[in-house]
Amino acid sequence: MRVVVLGAGVIGVTSAWYLAEAGHEVVLLDRQPGPALETSFANAGEISPGYASPWAAPGIPVKAMRWLFMEHAPLILRPRLDPAMIRWIAAMLGNCTEARYALNKSRMISLAEYSRDELVALRNRLNLQYDHGSRGTLQLFRSHKQIDASAGDIAVLQSYGVPYEVLDPDGCIGAEPGLAASRERFVGGLRLPGDETGDCHLFTNELARRLAGANVDIRYGTRIDAIDRVGDIIAGVRTDRGVVQGDAYLVATGSYTPALLAPAGIRVPVYPVKGYSITLPVANPELAPVSTLLDESYKIAITRLGNRIRVGGMAELSGFNAALPPAREASLRHSLNDLFPGAADRDASSNFWSGLRPMTPDSTPIVGSTPVSNLFLNTGHGTLGWTLACGSASLITHLISGKKPPVEPEGFNIARYLR
């Protein structure tokens, strides 16, 4: 078939690649002048299947109230008269039960584990270079209360056979030697040795370059204005460069998906949750992280990407707000300097950045068909777009191609929100 893919972030580009590999004729559209220039540009760099957990979890409402008043708050809420925000928050709170959390996490881990394996296979097949590493993720606990709270997550890891290590402070320093300088700051950690790291922007650009050789029609700098629905089908996509037509249409436009689909009568519960990052050059390799560390107290990830350190995190509900408040940068620097003092060049530009993560109320992405017969979705990955990209691309390609999917698809279909 001729498949028109809307969006050239990591989700759209991986989808285009898998569709082309499956033999489809692919057209890729994006308003930006190149790939991965928005949410995929400077994310935290972690590929963490074991930490694929829903934000909507038991106890989160209470924790959220406490986070709002922290100096370096992991959650920032900018109240506004936004019906979409209110509906999203209400739906998310409805998922903060033991039963919903267990169901959503089981779906996420199954796709994330498959996605990690697909990424490794794709990297080896194409010899992709993107500052990747395979030295695991360390979740660092600053209090014994955090260690106790990790018991539930460990039980889930055990049930899915995900390798893990529970570490004391010496074990944490063994995994991340740079932590020796901040030993008094933490009491233990949980390490997942199977996790990976990598620069999502570099990966997406590497793969996008291969798309041209795969005869994919790439149209950057093309603004997507609307999709035209005629009865039970999409007849075309209106852009500032004319109408683009195909046999099937795949929407991978992240946080902008709801506005694009609403005129076609499809409501998608995706809301932008803003995240921030800084990227600094390594000043002292012996003091720097070797892989990804998750600072549990501040919900911040610190990742080594070659000769750089990427620090990313926080969740801000403020609509489509692209501002870069100095206080957010200060929080990222605090976590880095508190745990890895002297690791980064503090005098260098931090390349302070923000991106709008497309979140669903249950944190599970929407990957599958829609009530419109030739319209498909691959969106709503939240903080896990990089982790889930290859698995989601493979899954949607199987569904568009009418083949047996590699993972159970029901939990990712938009139908769960239409019942």
Please list, in sequence order, all residues whose beta carbon lies within 8 angstroms of the beta carbon of residue 88, skipping any fewer than 6 positions away: 269, 271, 359, 361
Tell me whether residue 5 is annotated as binding: yes
Tell me whether residue 4 is annotated as binding: yes
Residues 312 and 331: their CA atoms lie apart, in Å, by: 10
Whether the predicted pLDDT of 419 surpasses 70 = no
Q: How far is CA 200 from CA 12, 313, 332, 390, in A?
A: 13, 15, 19, 12
Quote the pLDDT of residue 192: 95
Residues 12 and 150: their CA atoms lie apart, in Å, by: 34
Tell me whether residue 10 is annotated as binding: yes
Q: Tell me which residue has tokens 């944490």.
A: 172
Whether the predicted pLDDT of 68 surpasses 80 = no
Whether the predicted pLDDT of 336 surpasses 70 = yes
Tell me whether residue 3 is annotated as binding: yes
Q: How far is CA 89 from CA 26, 103, 105, 271, 300, in A?
A: 36, 19, 19, 9, 22
Q: What are residue 415's phi and psi, to 5 degrees? A: -60, -25
Tell me whether residue 372 is annotated as binding: no
Tell me whether residue 6 is annotated as binding: yes
Tell me whether residue 102 is annotated as binding: no
**CA 206 to chain centroid:** 18
Q: β-pairing, 196-197 with 188-192? A: unpaired
63 pLDDT tier (thresholds 50, 70, 90) = confident
* Neighbouring C-beta atoms of residue 369, cutoff 10 Å: 18
pLDDT digits (tens, 9 = 90+) for 134-146: 999 999 999 999 9
Tell me whether residue 156 is annotated as binding: no
Q: Given strand 242-244, what is the order of strands in its sheet?
A: 224-230, 233-239, 242-244
Q: Is the pTM of this model over 0.75?
A: yes
Tell me whether residue 251 is annotated as binding: no
Residues 165 and 138: their CA atoms lie apart, in Å, by: 9
pLDDT digits (tens, 9 = 90+) for 236-274: 999 999 999 999 999 999 999 999 999 999 999 999 999
Quote the pLDDT of residue 50: 84
